[in-house]
Amino acid sequence: MSKQIEIKDLDIYYGSFRAVEGVSMLIEPRTVTALIGPSGCGKSTVLRSLNRMHEVIPGAYVDGSVMMDGQDIYGAGVDPVNVRRQVGMVFQRANPFPTMSIKENVLAGVRLNNQRISRKDADDLAERALRGANLWEEVKDRLDLPGSGLSGGQQQRLCIARAIAVQPEVILMDEPCSALDPISTLAIEDLIAELKNEYTVVIVTHNMQQAARVSDRTGFFNIAGTGKPGKLIEYNDTEIIFSNPEKDDTQNYVSGRFG
C-alpha cells in the first residue's frame, strides 16, 4: 500500500522558466516527509510533480525521473490518470464539492475512476475512508447532508477521506492546515501521524513547529534570487534539520532569521 519515491535530478519548468533545479530525494514508504522553505522556492511545484499534476498547466514539463517502487511515473506509456489514482493530493483550502453530500464527496474520486460499486460497498467504503480521516463519529448521522455544512477543519478531513477512498499509495498535502484553527490543525496532525502507518506522506508546510512535530524527514528548499530556480539545499532527518543542520542557510531559516 505504501511506496518508496526516488526523485532523481529533477528540473521542473513552466514554459521556458526553470522553477526548480536538480532535485534528488529518496523518500521511504511509511514516513512523513516535510518540504519547507521561503515562498516561491518551488515546494508546491515539486509536490505537484509527484503525481503529474504539474503537467496540467499548459507549457509545464519536467526533466529527470520520479520512481515509485522503481517505476518511473514519467516513463513512456505511463498513464498520468493512473499515477494520480495511486498518488492522492490534498490542497491548502479544503475543496469539497459544495452541493454534494458528505458521502458523495468521499466517493467522488472513486466515481471519477469509473469504478462500479454496489450501494453496500459504497457505504462501507465511505465509512472506512471517513474513519481513516478521523471524521466518522462527527458525520455518521448526516452523511446525506451537503459537505459544505461542515467546519473548515472537518472539510479538510473530508478531503483527506476523499483522497484515501481511492486507496492511494502516496498522499501529498500542500499546506493542509494553513486555513485552520489550532485545534483543527492538531486534529490533522494526529491524522497525518496515523496515515503514515499505511501511506507515504509528503507535506508542504510553512509552519516549522508542524514540520518538526509531524515529519520524519525534512527537505529545505531555497532560491538564490528572483527568477532563479529553487533548489533542495538540505535533506535529512527532521531532528537534524531542526537541531544541527549542515548548512547556514538551513539554520537561518529554521531559526526564523529569514523567510
Distance CA 42, CA 45 (A): 5
The yes or no reply on residue 19 touching ligand ATP (CB under 6 A) is yes
Of 19 and 133, the one with the shorter C-beta distance to ligand ATP is 19
Which conformational region is residue 53 in: left (phi greater than 0), alpha (psi within -120 to 50 degrees), or beta? alpha
* Number of residues binding to Mg ion, judged by CB under 5 A: 1
- Closest separation in Å from C-beta 123 to ligand ATP: 37
Select the binding partner of residue 19 from Mg ion, ligand ATP, none (C-beta < 5 to 8 A, by kind). ligand ATP
| C-alpha distances out from residue 108 to 7, 89, 131, 165, 247, Å | 30, 14, 17, 9, 44
The yes or no reply on residue 44 touching ligand ATP (CB under 6 A) is yes
Distance CA 239, CA 228 (A): 29
Helix then strand count (H, E) for the chain reads 10, 10
Q: Which of residues 192-231 bind ligand ATP (CB under 6 A)?
A: 230
* Number of residues binding to ligand ATP, judged by CB under 6 A: 11
- Closest separation in Å from C-beta 220 to Mg ion: 15
- Closest separation in Å from C-beta 45 to Mg ion: 8
Which residue, chain included where needed, has cell 522553477?
A: 19
* Residue count (the chain): 259
Cβ contacts of residue 135 below 8 Å, gap of 6+? Answer: 154, 157, 158, 161
Segment lying near ligand ATP (by CB under 6 A), choices 40-48, 83-91, 99-107, 250-258: 40-48
The yes or no reply on residue 215 touching Mg ion (CB under 5 A) is no
Select the binding partner of residue 57 from ligand ATP, Mg ion, none (C-beta < 5 to 8 A, by kind). ligand ATP
Site residues (CB under 5 A) for Mg ion? Answer: 44
Residues contributing to the site for ligand ATP (CB under 6 A): 14, 19, 39-45, 57, 230
